Structure 1
């Protein structure tokens, strides 16, 4: 057995062991349990076995994270944070054909909650951290290995807590690598692109409220709050925000346009994206701000016209678009609709031409000579947003070479979440190269 295959085997062993730890994050303290802490203790034991000094934090019972550091050879180089989260989203077992916490392998495919999101990367970086320590590997930069709790419900007790309460754990760090990216998508029959998330949309929640006069249902009123909020919601559903060509989107369109002969003009953008197959929905969501009405509520009695009605909105905002979106929302719903702004996590944007991307490309080229690393904007959120608050530029890159028809992004939060075992071996080899050379 070669050293490389031994590393791949150990990574797979750790991934499967972590999947078997039920660390479902329901968001409800009464039902979460201690899975995240058990997963963190497992990782801690593996790291301490080879000599790491590990910081274990548990701000609430069951919500544990761990952080450790491997010193590099160049003290002037900014440290690189390499992170994964140990929590997973809930499962409906009746929808699974294989046990969600069984970590079973069938026909070369690993099944289980966390196989993609993201115990795969946790197991990979755990194996690499151990190998570097065991073998005396000294990377150029300090490597900060972080395994976070609570990513799936906003990182309140994980990355956000650590950034707020123990930022010294990330001292000197300038960049970070985590989810969501690195997976391959087809360029043509023989070539693949590997997406790297250089930016992420922000998340804002808002409530819109319409006010009117309460009345008996038999006497319709001209200012019925239910009707007015329904009109506002319908207007939001019909509205299409303009395309914003962020730096990440521009780089993606330029690369794929050149490779596929697509123009990606504002007029042809939707049709050109549709030609990319399953990739179109991911990139399409990154082209515009979006508002999704998700909750409607009004009244409580059929024969009473309520005095107010409201709708809750999930808003995804492109970098630098916060003020413009707020103004546009007021224009869409009308000034007589009250808007209450709630949770807000700002978008982040890292340079799409940073030297780190050259390292990613070199590592990919070693395993896939025709593969190209392509920046894109992630229309969702990761723990990179919390690290960004202390000046750490985040990149989403978990390298996975998969068959052309395999939609890695579609596996996030899905029943029968799965990943080819060979993709995990590829991830281990590429990530090991990245961390040696970054």
Structure 2
């Protein structure tokens, strides 16, 4: 058995590296997004060729692979485990390594997608192959989804499957994906996160119009840029309150337990001090309890001496769970009259923590690391869970990685020189195997 488990761990590392070597960049522009997602999915299909699979492709080159693991009891609800094959762009000039070489050195696998999220695909595929070698068949059916287009909007990936092929999810009531499962350092050892919620997303485009004319003649009160800047100032200066609902309370209770201190996000200085032992991942918790609104783009005019008749800005808003409607009301007040606002949105997602599925995740981790602690996690990111939530599926983040102290995990997401520790992949594959054996 030890030799078989060693093979599984080696496969997890190798599969992650091989996937990184496929440039599956999703630029958001059909003209510059290639066929990397399809090539990744085809490779995964080869690795899991013993299992039945289906292929869905809304746009050529952007394939989605659905693999089924039949369960012993077809009456039981099925579980979905999903991961995306696309990655964000990487400028090789800014990297110290080739972002698509999948280089393995210094105890890490380097390249775009190493943590977002070809690490999960490598570990999951290796763990599934190992359970097949052991002859295991789960009690309930498991659906593995390897999808395109998560990094932009999911219209060619999970959103496409949910809207056009809901039969794929027949009988599925729970799902596992990103973000969660990673370990954080605490004074008493590693605590593994389990994602139970993600903030709502609202991308606002503000369009102001006004008088167009010579810069010496058009007063600011009539000019589109001045109107837009005033609205952006109100938005940037607004202090969104800390929101402590049932989900936030669960996360705060968990933080207090693993850190051994009282944790209150309404005490700004004390909150930062309490989270300090978490190291680089502290920021992933500190912004979880309030709505945020970040100005990301401003466009207006073409000449210094001409007031343009239109000015446009975008604002990336992340909404505390359950506050979607309240956010819209307050944001409209901040924008004020005379500015058109259009939206791209995704509701907040929340799943219960006290469930049998969460218990099986915890048991899988402790089978590999008996002293592990656990921490419910609320992410500010947006994932394919937003599409699955439309079907009433409870979504959890569980990509198990035992991270070394000081590892800048949040900085790896979409960052320069993205990498994942080899040991984290090896340990994660063991945890996922234990999880699969428990289903």
Q: TM-score range by the shorter chain?
A: over 0.9
In structure 2, list runs of 5 or more residues that go unmatched: none
Shift of 1:381: 0.9
Alignment of 1:159-238 (within 5 A): 159-188=158-187, 190-221=188-219, 222-238=221-237
Look up the match of 1:325: 327
Looking at structure 1, the residues matched to 248 and 175 of structure 2 have their Cα atoms a distance apart, in angstroms, of: 20
Structure 1 partner of 2:52: 53
Contact 2:78–2:174 (CA under 8 A) maintained in structure 1: yes
Relative to 1, partners in 2 of residues 1:112 and 1:297: Cα closer, same or farther, differing over 3 Å? closer
Change (3 A) 1:113 1:310: closer
Long gaps (5+) in structure 1: none
CA distance in 1, matches of 2:412, 2:265: 30
Structure 2 residue aligned with 1:411 = 412
Where does 1:359-370 land on structure 2 (aligned, <5 Å)? 359-370=360-371
Greater CA deviation, 294-303 or 371-380? 294-303
Say which is worse superposed, 408-417 or 428-437, in terms of deviation.
Answer: 408-417
Which stretch has the larger CA shift, 345-354 or 310-319? 310-319
Partner-residue secondary structure (3-state), 2:275 = coil
Deviates more, 1:271-280 or 1:323-332: 271-280
**Which residue number corresponds to residue 316 of structure 2?**
314
How do 1:106-121 and structure 2 match up within 5 A?
Answer: 106-121=105-120
For each residue in 1:250-303, what CA deviation from the matched residue of structure 2 results, as whole angstroms up to 9, or x when unmatched? 222112223334333354245323442323321122111111122222333332
Change (3 A) 1:268 1:158: same
Identify the residue that residue 41 of structure 2 maps to in structure 1: 40
Tell me if structure 1 keeps the 8 A contact 2:131–2:433.
no
What SS class does the counterpart of residue 332 from structure 1 fall into? helix
Identify if the C-alpha distance between structure 1 residues 328 and 67 changes in structure 2 by more than 3 Å, giving closer, same or farther: same
Shift of 1:213: 3.0
| 8 Å contact kept, 1:274–1:280 | no
Query: Quick check: 1:78–1:172 contact (8 Å CA) kept in 2?
Result: yes
Q: Does the CA-based 8 Å contact 1:12-1:424 persist in structure 2?
A: yes
String of CA shifts for 1:358-407, please: whole Å, max 9, x gaps: 11111111222221221111101111111111121110110111112113
Asked whether the equivalents of residues 319 and 327 of structure 2 are also in contact (C-alpha less than 8 Å), the reply is yes
Q: Say yes or no: does 1:381 pair with 2:392.
A: no
- Cα offsets for 1:317-363 (capped at 9, x unmatched): 222212111111122233x2424222111111111222211111111
CA RMSD of aligned residues (A): 1.8
Q: Distance in 2 between matches of 1:24 and 1:422?
A: 26
Paired residues for 1:267-278 under 5 Å = 267-277=266-276, 278=280
SS at match of 1:301: coil
Separation of aligned partners in 2, 1:168 and 1:267: 45
Higher mean C-alpha displacement, 367-376 vs 217-226: 217-226
CA distance in 2, matches of 1:218, 1:260: 60
Q: Give the whole-Å Cα distance in 1 for the aligned partners of 2:94 and 2:25.
A: 16
SS in 1 for 2:222: coil
Q: TM-score normalized by structure 1? A: 0.94
User: In 2, are the aligned partners of 1:262 and 1:272 still within 8 Å (CA)?
Assistant: no
Deviation at 1:305, TM superposition (A): 2.6
Q: Could you tell me how far apart the structure 1 residues matched to 2:111 and 2:303 are?
A: 45
The TM-score with structure 2 as length reference comes to 0.94
**291-300 or 51-60: which moved more?**
291-300
SS at match of 1:30: coil
Cα separation, 2, equivalents of 1:93 and 1:172: 44
Are the equivalent residues in 2 in contact too, given 1:247–1:352 (CA < 8 A)?
no
8 Å contact from structure 1 (residues 84, 122) kept in 2: yes
Is the 2:72–2:137 contact (alpha carbons within 8 Å) kept by the matching residues of 1? yes
* Counterpart-to-counterpart distance in 1, 2:132 and 2:104: 29
In the alignment of these two chains, the number of paired residues is 434
Output one character per residue of 1:15-43: Cα deviation in whole Å (capped at 9) or x when no partner. Answer: 12111111111111111111111111111
The secondary structure found in structure 1 opposite 2:31 is helix
SS of aligned partner of 2:82: strand
The 2-side partners of 1:183 and 1:159 are apart by 23
